[in-house]
Amino acid sequence: MPRIARTGNEAMAEAMRQINPHVVAAYPITPATEIVMIFAGFVANGVVDTQFVAVESEHSAMSACVGAAAAGCRVMTGTSSQGLQLMSEILPIASALALPIVLCEVNRALSGPINIHCDHSDTMAVRDFGWIQIFAENAQEAYDSVLQAVVIAENMQVRLPAMVTTDGFIISHCMERVEALEDAEVKKYVGEFKAVNSVLDVGKPLTMGCLDLQDYYFEHKMPIVESMKKAKDVILEVGLDFGKQFGREYGLVENYKMDDAEIAMVAMGSTCGTARVVVDELRGKGVKAGLLKVRAFRPFPAEEIKQSLSKLKSVAIMDRSDMFKNQGGQVFTEIRSAMYGGANSPILTNYIYGLGGREISLDDIRKIFAEQKKNAESGEVSQLIQHFGVRI
Amino acid sequence: MAIKKMGWKELMPGDAISGGTAAEFETGDWRSEKPIFHKENCINCYFCWAYCPDSAILLDENKKVVGIDYKYCKGCGICDRECPTKKEKRAITMETERK
Amino acid sequence: MPGLRDLVKKSDPLTGGHRACAGCGAPIVVRQVLMSSKDPVVVVSATGCLEVVTTIFPYSAWTVPFLHNAFENSAATCSGIEAAYQALKRTGKIKEGQHINFVAFGGDGGTYDIGFQSLSGAVERGHDMLYVCYNNEAYMNTGIQRSSATPKGASTTTAPAGKVIPGKVQFSKNLTEIMVAHEMPYVAQSAVGFWRDLTSKAEKAFSIRGPKFINVLQPCRLGWGYKPADTAAIGRLAADTCVWPLYEVENGKYKLTYKPKEKKPVVEFLKSQDRFRHLLKPGNEAILESIQKETDKRWEALLAKSEG
């Protein structure tokens, strides 16, 4: 297994090369540009069979992806932030048409003000469009998850588009050691693309994207509901199988030192790496601290999270975006909802942090854990929701 | 014309449907005027066929015009307007629809 | 050049039973264009009248493969399908000999305005596809709002003829010329009412590889205000008054495909439709004059560029 130093973007582009999709339609945007650039290089050098469509906007990128996927092709793209927003009109069309497009998304703060650095506001803004969303902690996970996303999205029980996200610059541009699979292994792993519907089938003319009025729109949304339910099992199966085949196992969530934990942090993406260090440190001091990493945000692993958190005393839920509703961020909101009705619920507090790429340091995480310890001891919530690390 | 409404599990995946099902939907009752075809005057120029928005000009197996498909014809009158036959020997004339 | 005797032998791309208004010009455009293809076609349509009336679930009027994505992206969507076709051909999934013509339809709103970027991008990339604008000179699907294709003086619901403003103030955008500026292989203008002109242009477009664009004036009985039977006749009147000249530009070479025997005054066209009725009242002479002047200017410019 080749071990190569790669940035998150390079790792994702490498996965795309090995997947060798029929069509890639993409548009440059910082910090995801590199993915498209590197892939364009593969196309120019003839190392992939892909038809690369260098479109004039992200809106057209997703539109062309929908066209190509409806024509029975394996289709991929990459984007970030404003680009994802410009695509957003077409994202729910991709899921309604049951097109298993895979998108490499690099998390970046939404304008305004314009900013190029990481937060999760872009990905969160499109969370309810029927796309599977997987957050990667590092370049290795990004690489592995892109491969898995193809298998998950194309599963006949699922058949939904999927996006795999990395944190802008923190993962996308940092060099890490990545273990890549052999080309032949990837080819075998993702297999041949099986089309369900194709507008290129001129012998069996289909009409796709009909006008649904009051009498059918609701029915046409139900397959997404059902597919998202199935996707939970499929993500687990695929993650388990990936572990068996290649030695790195994945799930919907990852419990890190959670078995006997009393206080914990819930986080997504690169922050998990920082949190692990603090958890280890606290464990060394005898503090029963743990980390719950949420890997799949859509479908939302409510039961798994509930199971992980119900025995705890106090939990810090980390949100790298705000919903501006005075009720905390998306992860917090969903976890609070998931915990409702359970016999045991820990104290849940929300930390909205890192907006626009504001750094979250080891010290910051130590401070957050110290607050959890205080909450756990006092049994009282010191502060339910806080915007952490912002100057007053 | 009433088709039983399908439940979501009965639908094709991906908001797709086989083409051509609109043939099941009748629009003939939209008509307030009705074209009448007079075969004896028809010169088979196909202007009516070329300009019918509703594919409602009936052709036989030899591709001769044989009439109007009242299942679909909305009575717009383009066929009559475009028919080049002379006033006294019209191949298509319009009359008020009597229902 | 196909005659109607040949075309009647083709299978119809549309069934009856669609929900277009009586006398709608859009299905006429679709039928004449698609039946001019020798090869199988795959169709994309922008959101708009055409898509709405032909695909009300579970009734589809399309007997050819059809995809609707959204309003402003029929060109980009079609370019994706064409890319898929190229990819599948390269990897041997589609046989070399099997040619398919890819056709994107959009109304003037979906073409001149909201879908213009998508169209321009697809053309610049050189996809092998034909884009057909069924141009009824306003947003008819949402209830007759002005677009950049709406002619000066026309009353629409967002540029209504009022006491101080007499309908649309601006002249229409000359999209056909903008497409010519893309230096694409084939650009043409046609109109409902000229079946031979439109089918010939479509047939020629299908014989050319690369991006092609045809702008078809499609009278709309509801939005323009005339008797439904007159759809084709009004299209002819547009050409006879030179408000909508029929021409084509093949690899930059202009050719007038219809020269009116006698150039009729624009007012003949205007008085045939309710959308211009207010212009015929006293006090609007200057507007009428400016419309005639602009029409003449555009016509003369076209004549100067055209051969034969």
Could you tell me if A200 and A289 lie in one domain?
A: no
> Which ranges constitute the DSSP H helices of A129-255?
139-154, 183-190, 217-246
- Could you tell me which residues come within 8 angstroms of residue A56 by beta carbon, excluding any fewer than 6 positions away? A27, C117, C118, C120, C121, C124
User: Both tokens of residue B95?
Assistant: 């009359």
Give pLDDT, residue A345: 86
Could you tell me if A276 and A153 lie in one domain?
A: no
Cβ separation A216–C57 shorter than 8 A: yes
Could you tell me if A87 and A233 lie in one domain?
A: yes
Task: Measure the CA angle with vertex A56, ends A55 and A60; round to 5°.
Answer: 65
With CA atoms as reference, report the closest residue to C101 among C85, C122, C118, C125. Answer: C85
Give pLDDT, residue A3: 76
Give pLDDT, residue C7: 95
Q: What is the pLDDT of residues A185-230, one digit of tens each?
A: 999 999 999 999 999 999 999 999 999 999 999 999 999 999 999 9
Which chains have at least 3 CB atom pairs separated by less than 8 Å from chain A?
B, C
What is the value of ipTM here, to two decimals? 0.97
Could you tell me if A159 and A68 lie in one domain?
A: yes
- Half-sphere exposure (Cβ direction) of A204: Cα atoms closer than 13 Å: 7
Residues from chain A contacting residue B20 (CB–CB below 8 Å): 205
Give the whole-number percent of chain C exceeding pLDDT 90.
Answer: 96
Could you tell me if A178 and A308 lie in one domain?
A: no
Query: Quick check: C8 pLDDT over 90?
Result: yes
Task: Report the residue of B15, B18, B21 to disrupt the A interface, i.e. the one with the largest count of A CBs within 10 Å.
Answer: B15
Task: Report the residue of C5, C10, C12, C14 to disrupt the B interface, i.e. the one with the largest count of B CBs within 10 Å.
Answer: C14
Give pLDDT, residue C97: 81
How many Å lie between the alpha carbon of A199 and the closest alpha carbon of chain B?
A: 10
Cβ separation C76–A67 shorter than 8 A: yes
Residues from chain C contacting residue A75 (CB–CB below 8 Å): 80, 84
Instruction: Please tell me the total count of domains within chain A.
Output: 2
CA gap B27, C183 in Å, rounded: 43
Helix H or strand E encompassing A370: helix A362-378
User: Both tokens of residue A313?
Assistant: 């005393």
Query: Quick check: B2 pLDDT over 60?
Result: no
Instruction: Set out the domains of chain B in order of their start, with CATH numbers.
Output: 39-80 (3.30.70)
Does B16 contact chain C (CB < 8 Å)?
no
CB C134 within 8 A of CB C26: yes
CA gap C296, C209 in Å, rounded: 34
Burial class (CB in 10 A: 0-12, 13-18, 19+), B70: middle
Q: Mark which residues 79-118 of A lie under 8 Å from C by CB.
A: 89-90, 93
Could you tell me if A183 and A70 lie in one domain?
A: yes
**Distance between terminal CA atoms of chain C?**
19
Q: What single-letter DSSP state applies at residue C14? A: B
How many Å lie between the alpha carbon of C44 and the closest alpha carbon of chain A?
A: 9
The CATH number linked to A187 is: 3.40.50.970
Give pLDDT, residue A5: 80
Q: What single-letter DSSP state applies at residue A305? A: H
Least CA distance to C80: which residue of chain A?
A64
- Could you tell me which residues come within 8 angstroms of residue B32 by beta carbon, excluding any fewer than 6 positions away? B75, B96, B97
Full-model pTM: 0.97
Could you tell me if A60 and A209 lie in one domain?
A: yes
CA gap A49, A309 in Å, rounded: 46
Q: What is the pLDDT of residues A127-182, one digit of tens each?
A: 999 999 999 999 999 999 999 999 999 999 999 999 999 999 999 999 999 999 99
Give pLDDT, residue A1: 63
Give pLDDT, residue B98: 84
Q: What is the pLDDT of residues C165-220, one digit of tens each?
A: 999 999 999 999 999 999 999 999 999 999 999 999 999 999 999 999 999 999 99
> Which ranges constitute the DSSP H helices of C35-185?
49-54, 74-90, 108, 116-125, 175-180
Q: Domain end: A206, A223, A246, which one? A: A246
Could you tell me if A84 and A208 lie in one domain?
A: yes
Could you tell me if A66 and A192 lie in one domain?
A: yes
- Ranges of residues in chain A with a pLDDT under 70 are 1
Could you tell me if A194 and A91 lie in one domain?
A: yes
User: Both tokens of residue C118?
Assistant: 């998508």
Does C32 contact chain B (CB < 8 Å)?
yes
Which whole number is the average pLDDT over B25-40?
Answer: 97
User: Both tokens of residue A347?
Assistant: 């104290």
Q: What single-letter DSSP state applies at residue C306? A: E
The band of C109, judged by pLDDT with boundaries at 50, 70 and 90, is very high
Could you tell me if A216 and A287 lie in one domain?
A: no
Q: What is the pLDDT of residues C85-102, one digit of tens each?
A: 999 999 888 887 889 999
Q: Domain end: A198, A215, A246, which one? A: A246
Residues from chain A contacting residue C73 (CB–CB below 8 Å): 59-60, 63, 90
Pairing between strand A385-388 and A347-353? parallel
User: Both tokens of residue C294?
Assistant: 């602009």
Q: What is the pLDDT of residues B54-98, one digit of tens each?
A: 999 999 999 999 999 999 999 999 999 999 999 999 999 999 998
Give pLDDT, residue B3: 66
The CATH number linked to A352 is: 3.40.50.920
The band of C2, judged by pLDDT with boundaries at 50, 70 and 90, is confident
How many Å lie between the alpha carbon of A1 and the closest alpha carbon of chain C?
A: 28
Burial class (CB in 10 A: 0-12, 13-18, 19+), C91: middle
Could you tell me if A285 and A211 lie in one domain?
A: no
Mean pLDDT, chain A, as a whole number?
Answer: 97
Give pLDDT, residue C172: 98
Classify domain C4-307 at the CATH class level.
alpha beta
Cβ separation A63–C118 shorter than 8 A: yes
Q: Domain end: A214, A231, A246, which one? A: A246
Query: Quick check: B1 pLDDT over 60?
Result: no
Task: Report the residue of A206, A215, A226 to disrupt the B interface, i.e. the one with the largest count of B CBs within 10 Å.
Answer: A206
Task: Kindly write down the DSSP assignment for every residue of B20-46, as one continuous string.
Answer: TGGGGS--GGG-SEEEEE-GGG-----
CA gap A310, A346 in Å, rounded: 6
The band of B4, judged by pLDDT with boundaries at 50, 70 and 90, is confident
Q: What is the pLDDT of residues C284-295, one digit of tens each?
A: 999 999 999 999
Give pLDDT, residue A344: 76
The CA–CA distances, whole Å, from B65 to B53, B71, C4 equal 16, 16, 12
How many Å lie between the alpha carbon of A83 and the closest alpha carbon of chain C?
A: 15
Cβ separation B53–C12 shorter than 8 A: no
CB C49 within 8 A of CB C105: no
Q: Which residue from B17, B20, B71 is facing C63, i.e. has the nearest CB?
A: B20
Does C52 contact chain B (CB < 8 Å)?
no
Identify the domain containing residue A73 by its residue range. Answer: 3-246
